[in-house]
Structure 1
Amino acid sequence: MSPYGRKKSPSILIAGAGIGGLTTALSLHAAGLDDVLLVEACPNLRAVGAGINLQPAAVRELTELGLAEALEKVAVATARLEYHHRYGGLIWSEPRGRAAGYNWPQYSVHRAHLQDILLSAVRERLGPEALVTGGRLVRYEQDRGQGRPTVRAYVAGRPGPFSCDLLIGADGINSAVRATMYPHEGPPLGNGICMWRGVTEGSAFLDGRTMVIVGCNARVKAVAYPVTPPDGSGRCLLNWVVESRTGDGLDEEDARGGADWDRAAPPEEVLAHLRGWRSDFLDLHGIIAGAPRIGRYPMIDRDPLPGWTDDRVVLLGDAAHPLYPTGSNGASQAVVDARVLAYELAHHDVDEALSRYEAARRPQTTRLLAAHRRLEPDPVLRQVESLAPDGFLDIRHVLPEDSLDGIKSCTRQVTGVDATALNARSSWSVAV
């Protein structure tokens, strides 16, 4: 079908067909609001990206959208989070997902696999005409005259704008919808940490369901976890990230990068930060050396906004509240945004629904953004490093257990909701 072959303008236009945008389309459809069009800048939605985590709050929502079976086939139900010294010693371990009392698992999954699940569901449930690719939204205008407000969304290369009753900006950290709403905001903010990441086929480590954070200072850390179930020989895809504090903000090269921050890097560039590291359960050096591609990019976010709505335009996901990846919660919060927004639109007129959505989601994501920025485990890790620079066999010989409560507090804050509250909360599914 021609990208612009729709016979009529949609009631709801979603800018961006990432995790947030696709989940929004599915949530609106499930709530009986299916006059929806997604406009995506990428001409071909191909399998790209690396590993992400879906917190139980997001897995609950995807389950209620009927995607549990598809997720279970491609994802790993994460059971533990562990912090290790760069010489292998275990600093802290805590249960995750169902093991932590949630009624739903935490999933580690390849972003491309998740996107394929969501995209297939959108095409099956809303029809292939519900998605326009190769259409980059550049700005919007609104008719604020008498009668029903109308939004005009301008897409690069299209002779005229799309008209809609509601525009949802799910177009990421470099959102054109956000830039139109807040034209003087400027570029994202860097914290001086450079990140390298990749996905490598390798052997499952520990129990095959554990995420490990390795490194015992605030300058260099590594994260690794499986994103596919092991095959018959115990092989799986391992997602890994190495981060190093290299400055105080975006360097000149990153500042010029704009939306194209993901630049290829050689393994040697990453391995230089891990000299002398060792572990008896994870060959981190070998995993990095064997990665088919390594991406390099800065750790960035944006300051909280005073509001997410502009009449009949609203922000969602990274367009509204980009988070550092340290809490493994960005994609999950976009999923929750989508479900809350659809629920409110199904029960209230548009103005009231947008107000209720923002009141429910903006304070919570603002708290999460602050928690991600504090990086609270770092003081504890620095203390361990200062007391045991050459490693240890038992963390209890270095610090008493109550001294590690800062890590537990941080992981609770960046997750955003405890098991009891999530398990008891009523559903956001809409009976239609």
Structure 2
Amino acid sequence: MTGAVLIAADGINSTARRVLYPKEGPPRFSGRMLWRGCVEREPYLTGASMVWAGHANQKFIAYPISGRAARRGTSLVNWIAELRVRDENDPDLTPPPTDWTKRVPKERFAGPFEKWSCGGLKMAELIESTENVFEFPMCDRDPVDRWTFGRLTLLGDAAHAMYPIGSNGATQAIIDAETLAARLADIVGTWQQPGAVEAALTAYQDVRLPATAKIVMANRGNGPDHVLELAHQRAPDGFENIYDVVPKEELESVGAMYKAIAGFEKEAVNQKAIETEALAARFGKGAEGEAK
């Protein structure tokens, strides 16, 4: 097999990255495990609401993911249960052996959520009604200095595996792909010139590597989930009004800081939309991919 470019988008256990960085070792384990499932049920709250509850050592997230289910009057809910399984001061960062494709028994994690409820959701019932549950160690990798080596470059988790916090992870991989496509589009007519492909891949790296490195480290510090920890520390027995525990200005500052790091500020998102439209137009398609 031959080609002009090798894009290694082969995940957190990337073979290409292991070749480029043979001394790196396994992913870095956070000490927390994630259990994920998906189940169709009656809608809760607005029918489009996200539940985000808990703290650094025990968390539950749920949100609807299907417009088709909503049109049927139901809600297809994706949920994640998170528990700390290793002391945060444990120097061992090696992830436990797991098979990400194997179903696991709910008894392994459901107990601590037995009495949890939020927004009309009872976590125990949601877990029990889910047929298939899968287990994942929450891991990331330290940022590296380079992704691009000649005509090979890394993308997505192979480049910047991060904790799934702040709606990142897949989001950043998509931005990688768009940025890389734009740089390769720049050389459509000149890619056979010496050094053209290498320069395009390096230009992609120079934009995306520093941006994602900041997010990796921010997520390692819990990113926007820091507000959950603040509430837990200041009001472990609960509260009626969040602003009595964490002032509105403090909440907004945490959110604003993370938006700036992740590129989610309004101006940045709007500019990205303009760039996406322009790139799509170059290939005769609309922003959603339909041929014009």
How does the TM-score come out when normalised to structure 1? 0.57
Equivalent-residue separation in structure 1 for 2:135 and 2:96 (angstroms): 13
Task: Please tell me the residue identity of whatever aligns with 1:327.
Answer: G
Q: Given the alignment of the two structures, is residue 395 of structure 1 paired with residue 245 of structure 2, yes or no?
A: no
1:131-170 correspondence to structure 2 within 5 Å: 162-170=1-9
Equivalent-residue separation in structure 1 for 2:269 and 2:226 (angstroms): 30
In structure 1, which of residues 362, 365, 384 is the aligned counterpart of residue 212 of structure 2?
365
Q: Helix, strand or coil for the counterpart of 1:178? A: helix
Q: Alpha-carbon deviation of 1:326?
A: 1.4
Aligned-pair identity in percent equals 37
1:328-339 correspondence to structure 2 within 5 Å: 328-339=167-178
Equivalent-residue separation in structure 2 for 1:288 and 1:190 (angstroms): 25
Q: Helix, strand or coil for the counterpart of 1:197? A: strand
Query: Where does structure 2 lack aligned partners over 5 or more consecutive residues?
Result: 188-195, 284-292
Q: Given the alignment of the two structures, is residue 419 of structure 1 paired with residue 266 of structure 2, yes or no?
A: yes
In structure 1, which of residues 308, 319, 333 is the aligned counterpart of residue 158 of structure 2?
319
How does the TM-score come out when normalised to structure 2? 0.82
Equivalent-residue separation in structure 2 for 1:320 and 1:241 (angstroms): 24
Q: Alpha-carbon deviation of 1:420?
A: 1.3
- Number of residue pairs the alignment of both structures matches: 268
1:33-48 correspondence to structure 2 within 5 Å: none
Q: Alpha-carbon deviation of 1:232?
A: 5.2
Equivalent-residue separation in structure 2 for 1:310 and 1:253 (angstroms): 28
Query: Where does structure 1 lack aligned partners over 5 or more consecutive residues?
Result: 1-161
Which residue matches 1:285?
Answer: 124
CA separation of 1:410 and 1:203: change in aligned 2, threshold 3 A: farther
Task: Please tell me the residue identity of whatever aligns with 2:208.
Answer: R
Whether contact under 8 Å (2:45, 2:119) holds in the other structure is no
Equivalent-residue separation in structure 1 for 2:6 and 2:226 (angstroms): 43
State the Cα deviation string for residues 250-273 of structure 1 (Å, max 9, x = none): 98994444xx34442222222212
CA separation of 1:250 and 1:237: change in aligned 2, threshold 3 A: farther
Q: Helix, strand or coil for the counterpart of 1:273? A: helix
Ranked by relative contact order (alpha carbons within 8 Å, sequence separation 6 or more), the top structure is: 1
1:236-385 correspondence to structure 2 within 5 Å: 236-247=75-86, 248=88, 254-257=95-98, 260-348=99-187, 349-377=196-224, 379-385=226-232
Which residue matches 1:223?
Answer: 61
Which residue matches 2:280?
Answer: 429
CA separation of 1:382 and 1:311: change in aligned 2, threshold 3 A: closer
CA separation of 1:187 and 1:335: change in aligned 2, threshold 3 A: same
Instruction: Identify which range, 381-390 or 286-295, moves more after superposition.
Output: 381-390
Whether contact under 8 Å (1:208, 1:226) holds in the other structure is yes
Whether contact under 8 Å (1:377, 1:406) holds in the other structure is no
Equivalent-residue separation in structure 1 for 2:138 and 2:211 (angstroms): 21
Whether contact under 8 Å (1:189, 1:250) holds in the other structure is no
State the Cα deviation string for residues 137-165 of structure 1 (Å, max 9, x = none): xxxxxxxxxxxxxxxxxxxxxxxxx2222
Task: Please tell me the residue identity of whatever aligns with 1:416.
Answer: G
Task: Please tell me the residue identity of whatever aligns with 1:314.
Answer: T
Which residue matches 1:53?
Answer: none
CA separation of 1:188 and 1:407: change in aligned 2, threshold 3 A: same
Q: Over aligned residue pairs, what C-alpha RMSD do you find?
A: 2.5
Whether contact under 8 Å (2:39, 2:130) holds in the other structure is yes
Greater percentage in strand: 1
